[in-house]
Amino acid sequence: MSQHPQYDERIRALERAAEEAAESLDPDPPDEARATEIVREGVGPTVALYCEARTGGTWARFDDETFDRLETTLNHWLDCYAACYGVSLDGVYSVRTAAELLVDTHDAAAVAATLTGVPE
């Protein structure tokens, strides 16, 4: 059990939603509208959860298992995002890097595009 249970259920929900999104994707033809939904429903909220934990009222440091789950969830969402453009990724992206990009750009879509290189 995480030392920050207030985040556990949110991470679980994001994990489940990423799995459901992956199962429902039809990357042929590419679907920019679906990519936007993926960013709005998954990439943004996953990165925002990390930002909240690190900058909120109490600074949360996730244990290794919880951090790995959060980062894996982000990677699943980014894989779904890329699949919307017909690109198959099995990326490993840092949630911290994603958070830094979000702070710099204020744009979750820019975070997804910068990390994945999709669309070109």
pLDDT at 24 over 80: yes
pLDDT given for residue 38 in this prediction: 97
Q: Which amino acid is present at 41?
A: E
CA distance 43 to 49: 10
pLDDT given for residue 59 in this prediction: 73
pLDDT given for residue 27 in this prediction: 63
pLDDT given for residue 26 in this prediction: 81
pLDDT band at 2 (very low <50, low <70, confident <90, very high): low
CA distance 98 to 111: 6
Going from N- to C-terminal start, the domains of the chain cover 5-116
Element (H, E) at 100: helix 95-105
CA distance 32 to 29: 10
Question: Nearest-5° angle of CA 102, CA 37, CA 52?
Answer: 35
pTM, two decimals, is 0.92
pLDDT given for residue 55 in this prediction: 86
CA distance 45 to 120: 24
